[in-house]
Structure 1
Amino acid sequence: MTFADGSWHQIFSFENYGELLVLVRNSLVAGAALGLIGGLAGVFVIMRDLPFAVHGISELSFAGASAALLLGTNIVVGSIVGSLLAAAVIALLGTRARDRNSAIGILMPFGLGLGVLFLALYKGRAANKFGLLTGQIVAVDDPQTAWLLGTSAVVLAALVVMWRPLTFAGADPDVAAARGVPVRGLSFAFMIVLGLAVALSVQVVGALLVLALVVTPAAAASRVTASPVLLPLLSVVFAVASIEGGILLALGSSIPISPYVTTISFGIYVVCRVAGAYRARRWGSRTTAPQPA
């Protein structure tokens, strides 16, 4: 069997697609909510230089979800608990970038090791184990959807309340502190909100590739605009397009969702990076061109 007539159909196959589409109704709803949350949180992740923290939180989220799977309890709750613990530790130990990265470097292998241990002890379906790492699109049932939407609403409300002071503190923390903004408390609160956002994202895209949903869309948007309005808007659009497109493409294949989400997200970033570079060169050539006398 050649790649053309065999493996290609594992990647893209749309036989009985209409019937399969019903199976991912919950995932599409959850994906839209996660795209909104991931896109908005990602703006501050980029602004505050926290991509590494996202990865560290996802490892503890994976450990919490694995523990819940082993104990037969709610996986979403386990994932959230693991994320919140990681976010709190990073926020408390990492006041400076160097300290924060050291704490994350310690947490990541610890969380991953715990997760692997719990999965090794779990005797259930292998698909459940694999899904925690790489994501799955048909395992989001009604209770999980309710948890995801409810927690997404909490995260969205928190981001709305913190948006202006977070933007101020991210742009100039010293001036913000002088103006009475509780920078340290705000930073801790945002890490907790980020922990919730990461925990929600892990449920669909998996622990290993959560960066594609929380970091890449905002990074792509920042390449084409610095507008305080367009930046979060484009970040959300890119995140929703990545996850919804990934779900719809993965539905017609036997491949996990994560390669589709990451490929779409990376493709958007490449396009935005090229467009941003072209605009910068064109703008620069115009400003440096000699002016007529």
Structure 2
Amino acid sequence: MYREKHFHWLILPTFVLLAAGTLYPIAYTGYLSLLEWNWGSTSKFVGLRNFYRIFAGVGFPKALFNTFYFAISAVVIETLLGLGLALAINRIRFGAGLIRTLMIMPLMVSGIAVALVWKVMLDPTLGIVNYLLSLVGIAGPAWLGTVPTAMPSIIMIDTWWQTAFTFIILSSALKSLPSEPFEAAKLEGATPFQTFRFVTLPMLKPVLITIVIFRTIDTMKVFDIIFGTTGGGPLRATESVQTLAYQTAFKSYKFGESATIAVVFSLIILLLCVVYLIIDSANGERT
């Protein structure tokens, strides 16, 4: 009885750490978004003027579009590619474990290291990619230096880096599926495509939704790959919300506007999470 009465004191340190490490930075960022403050100068309360500035300018809308473009493209490609690889390797009887181990190796590398390595590989004059293309008579473009190719190149780099995440989860999910539905489908004479469409895919649907949720949130926060390759260029073609917030704070020294960008973007992420939870809840009720 004594333990039940005083149990709440045991979780008090957790709430203190949560408040110090999460709630306080959130509240302070919200406070900064209402100020006009440059590093080292006097701050001035401006209310919602910073919010008007970021929406009235071209920087934030462009960065928000780029972020959604990158997130949607990367999530779709990585999910489909990871699913295809998982289905293919799931049919292999020998060497599947070694292939899975090799597949997850890119995940062990940090984002900034991936960005720097690919920046060298995609260099238009010294990079190995254009050199290999020249061997077959193809003149490679300046992958990260032109507007049409910069964002697709960033998406390609992220696909190489993060497809292993979707692959390893879907591969494990396929291994855990019950065998009875597949045996019944085989007895009914279902084709491989019909088995995938009406047996495998419905059972993988909860896992796919979870992957899409996690990868969408992760790709929306993209910073290291863009910062290490293009820095947001050329002509803001790859500038994301995160790189814009960094440039606004530490290059233009507009910390109030940078905090405003962070607040608005956090609200967008929160709205996306709520939408995903509603979709997931509706899917669970139907199931």
Q: Same fold (TM over 0.5)?
A: no
Q: Which has the larger radius of gyration?
A: 2
TM-score (norm 1): 0.30
Q: Which protein has the bigger helix share? A: 1
TM-score (norm 2): 0.30
